[in-house]
Amino acid sequence: MEQTKENKMGTMPVNKLLISMSLPMMVSMLVQALYNVVDSIFVSRVNEAALTAVSLAFPIQTLMIAVAGGTCVGINAVLSKALGEKEQERANDAAASGIVLMAISYLLFLLIGIFVTKGFYLSQTKDEQIVQYGVEYLSIACCCSFGLFAQFVFERLLQSTGRTFYIMITQGTGAIINIILDPIFIFGLCGMPRMGVAGAAVATVTGQIIAGMIAFLINSKKNDDIQISIRKLRLRGDIVGQIYKIGVPSMIMQAIGSVMTYGMNLILISFTSTATAVFGVYFKLQSFIFMPVFGMNNGLVPILAYNYGAGRRDRFVQALKCGIFYAVGIMAVGVVIFQSIPHVLLGFFEASEEMLAIGVPALRTISLCFVMAGFSIICGTSFQALGNAVYSMLISIARQLLVLLPAAYLLSLAGNVDYVWWSFPIAELVSLMMTVFFLIRINRKVIRHIGEEVQSMPGQA
């Protein structure tokens, strides 16, 4: 392949490019959202304690995804920018360094799975059944997470080079395998032993491992924009520094979500374990709305990074505007759904009368912040593509740690769990104001100057 040939991210009409790159990822992430929900639906058939145990596992699972996703944001930005600048060797080194970093990350969570899971559950509840279910589920999810890390890195290599269609294949395959295996392993169908909650974890990691293998094979056969060999799998210090310069703020943002979830679980379980189960169910349901936006987000990152590297301000701005328009529209649909049929949504999880009494106002109240969140997510993407992911990190810290948790705690003192849900719209409003401030700042200092001179690695605003 001619290395001087222009990638489609620099030539295809922007709206068509964004749709073509984002739609496969939106579909695949919707399928992922489906299997996350199906996972909990099957677990809820065991009993409410099992559903609560899976909900309490969410902080560690979020942390796992934060490490994988944050590292891949850095890999994505460095690799896409290198391709935009026609620096083939640097692109190859970014891919190789990223693979090694993900292997190291897996070893960290292997240790967490072996040594931390029981203490993690005991810090949240003394209910023996919930702890037993939780340790079974989370130990398997962590110790076998090599599939998740492989899937993340090899899918992001495809994403960085504009091959998002293949990601729909890998994620869709993994999700479908999970959905098929869930009832088989949980309830002991087709001659398999009844594994209960542990079966849900086994089904999940099996899907991730197979998806990771498929993503690896597709990169080997179809991705000729980067060349990787086992002999060249090494860490290059300057590349690692750039990956984490961009990726760590994103990692921290998502890890903050883990801290937030843990804190919210502690606040909610002081009312009843059902409130914690509702919170877990909400996160599963909202993924149907947020996942398409995150899919667009993932398609948008390489477009912005590529055109920033190529000095194409017009295409950068047009892509950002299209992303905001579509994200806000998707979130508006989400608001309508959560406001109009919360009983139906909760009914999928065998909701008791108590769960309905807590869950209906929860879904209606939290969904009020969806549209604001859509705008902030896409703007945060532009910050990351420009190398200013620290802006997104500051917004996330303010929203989830400085506003959301304190507001939730103060509202909980009133003794009514319904008040706690209002902490979400309050926090998102603060996030929106900070996002607008940083967007104006980065537009003035960076975006309006794209293309005026040769850009170095993403600079500070």
- At 217-263, the pLDDT tens digits run 999 998 888 887 777 788 888 999 999 988 887 788 778 889 999 99
Assess contact for 361 and 328: CB atoms under 8 A.
Answer: no
| Block residue for tokens 């199906």 | 38
Distance CA 185, CA 179 (A): 11
For residues 318 and 172, the model is more confident at: 318
Predicted confidence (pLDDT) at residue 296 exceeds the cutoff of 50: yes
pLDDT of residue 458: 44
Assess contact for 319 and 300: CB atoms under 8 A.
Answer: yes
Query: Residue 461: pLDDT band by 50, 70, 90 thresholds?
Result: very low
The torsion of the CA quartet 265, 267, 273, 274, rounded to 10 degrees, works out to -90
Q: Which two tokens stand for residue 301?
A: 């990152």
Of 323, 286, 292, the residue nearest 23 (C-alpha): 292
- At 2-19, the pLDDT tens digits run 444 556 767 788 888 888
- At 140-167, the pLDDT tens digits run 999 999 999 999 999 989 888 878 788 8
Quote helix, strand, coil % in the chain, to nearest 5.
80, 0, 20
pLDDT of residue 188: 96
Of 457, 398, 426, the residue nearest 253 (C-alpha): 398
pLDDT of residue 13: 83
Assess contact for 197 and 46: CB atoms under 8 A.
Answer: yes
Question: Once rounded to an integer, what is the mean pLDDT over residues 41-51?
Answer: 92
Q: Where are the alpha helices (DSSP H) in 45-124?
A: 48-56, 58-84, 88-115, 117-122
CA 317, distance to chain mean position in Å, is: 24
The b/e string for 110-144 (b: 16+ C-beta within 10 A; e otherwise) is: eebbeeebeebbeebbebeebbbbbbbbbbbbbbb
Distance CA 344, CA 358 (A): 14
Query: Residue 295: pLDDT band by 50, 70, 90 thresholds?
Result: confident
Distance CA 360, CA 377 (A): 26
Q: Give the type of residue at 47.
A: N
The torsion of the CA quartet 27, 32, 34, 35, rounded to 10 degrees, works out to 150
Distance CA 252, CA 69 (A): 10
For residues 130 and 224, the model is more confident at: 130
Q: Where are the alpha helices (DSSP H) in 310-399?
A: 313-340, 342-347, 353-366, 370-385, 389-397
Distance CA 30, CA 292 (A): 6
Q: What is the pTM of this model?
A: 0.81
pLDDT of residue 6: 58
* φ/ψ (deg, to 5) at 35: -75, -25
Going by the DSSP 8-state scheme, the letter that residue 185 receives in this structure is H
Query: Residue 36: pLDDT band by 50, 70, 90 thresholds?
Result: confident
Question: Once rounded to an integer, what is the mean pLDDT over residues 330-344?
Answer: 96
Question: Once rounded to an integer, what is the mean pLDDT over residues 307-328?
Answer: 90
pLDDT of residue 330: 95
pLDDT of residue 261: 93
Distance CA 148, CA 169 (A): 15
Q: Which two tokens stand for residue 111?
A: 């240790």
Question: Once rounded to an integer, what is the mean pLDDT over residues 49-61?
Answer: 92
Q: Is 336 exposed, middle or buried (0-12, 13-18, 19+ CB in 10 A)?
A: exposed
